[in-house]
Amino acid sequence: MTETPQPNPVVTFYGAVPGCRAPMRADASVLGTLPSRGFQYCEALRSASSFGWYVFPPVDFTLQWDGSQIIWTYEGAKGWYALTSAQFPGFQAVFDRHAPKHLRGFAPPFITAVPEPGIVQLWTGLMVSSAEDWSILVRPPANLPRNLAFDLYEGIVETDRWFGPLFTNLRLIKTDVPIHFSTETPLLQVQPLHRSTYAEAVSNSCGLVSDLAAFPVEAWSRYEQTIVKPNIEPRAAGAYAAETRRRRRSGCPVHAG
């Protein structure tokens, strides 16, 4: 990984596996897969797509599940292996060479078949930390077409308090077919979350206006501005996107700590 010093970063990734691909800022075009009209005019789509960072597998590898047992292979392997728990090839020696003496022998596994059928825990080759009161949401890449052979679980990790490997858990869906993972395709999207945004008080504070007749004047006024006026007085295509981007450029940046 190349090192680019950043003042007070909200999230810091640590490359542990040699040659592990660095995280990449998530892309508003989702690596060119979005329809051009959506990319140009739909700011909601662009914002969700570009929020956070892509994380890639540290090596090309393949899994296959028969409904009971998982086997796997990887780039440079001599064959297929039954999967229980495996280190990244050659990583144990690298870890022990660099880790403090009392931590040697505790390298994280690369890939593990957990007891639940078809569930695999996978390490990205990275470790991660965040600024105080910031966590990370680990999820599938936003708006990137999914591989129908597996699914990813989502999780929120309080990485300001917990420093360790950036893992994900995936569920194999298809049986008896090779499922390939490439270092060229994002596996995860990691998004920063301030702890206040998912606090119980926030999640419990949802309001509801249950009847159209109860809509307040302010709600009707906002509806008029966002929906009705653009149809009576047509605006240029992408006006919402342009206004949103102007507002962001004029706003104050978020700093951690």
The verdict on 21 and 132 lying in the same domain is yes
- pLDDT at residue 233, rounded to an integer: 82
Give domain status of residue 140, yes or no. Answer: yes
Number of domains in the chain: 2
Q: Does residue 257 sit within a domain?
A: no
Convert the pLDDT of each residue in 76-101 to its tens digit. Answer: 999 999 999 999 999 999 999 999 99
Which tens digits make up the pLDDT trace of 192-228? 999 999 999 999 999 999 999 999 999 999 999 989 9
Range of the domain at 73: 11-201
**Rounded average pLDDT over 47-75:** 97
The answer to whether position 243 is within a domain reads: yes
Q: Verify that 77 and 152 share a domain, yes or no.
A: yes
What does the CA dihedral 181, 182, 185, 190 come to, rounded to 10 degrees? 60
Residues 246 and 119 in one domain: no
Tens-place pLDDT, residues 26-57: 999 999 999 998 898 899 999 999 999 999 99
pTM, two decimal places:
0.86
Which residue, chain included where needed, has tokens 């914002």? 47
CATH number at residue 168: 2.70.40.10
pLDDT at 257 over 70: no
Query: Are residue 32 and residue 120 in the same domain, yes or no?
Result: yes
Distance CA 190, CA 166 (A): 10
> Which of 201, 220, 238 finishes a domain?
201
The verdict on residue 3 lying in a domain is no
Is the Cα dihedral 157, 117, 181, 20 positive or negative?
positive
Kindly report, residue by residue over 134-190, the tens digit of the pLDDT: 999 999 999 999 999 999 999 999 999 999 999 999 999 999 999 999 999 999 999
Which residues have C-beta within 8 Å of that of residue 226, sequence separation ≥ 6? Answer: none
Spatial contact of 74 and 62, defined as CB atoms under 8 Å apart = yes
Q: In terms of domains, do 137 and 103 share one? A: yes
Are 186 and 228 within one domain? no
Are 149 and 29 found together in one domain?
A: yes
Which pLDDT value is given to residue 230?
A: 86
Q: Which residue type sits at 197? A: T
CA–CA separation, 181 vs 147, rounded Å?
10
68 contacts 117 by C-beta, under 8 angstroms? yes
**Both tokens of residue 44?**
């909601």
For residues 43 and 109, state if they share a domain. Answer: yes
77: in domain: yes
Q: Is 175 contained in some domain?
A: yes
How confident is the model at residue 239, as a pLDDT?
61
Q: Do the domain assignments include residue 177? A: yes
Residue 256 lies in a domain: no
Let me know whether 116 and 145 are in one domain: yes
Same domain, 160 and 224: no
Q: What is the pLDDT of residue 254?
A: 47
Q: Is 172 found in the same domain as 121? A: yes
Helices (H), the chain: 36-41, 43-49, 91-98, 200-203, 217-223, 229-232, 239-250
Task: Using the predicted structure, report yes or no on whether residue 58 has a pLDDT greater than 80.
Answer: yes
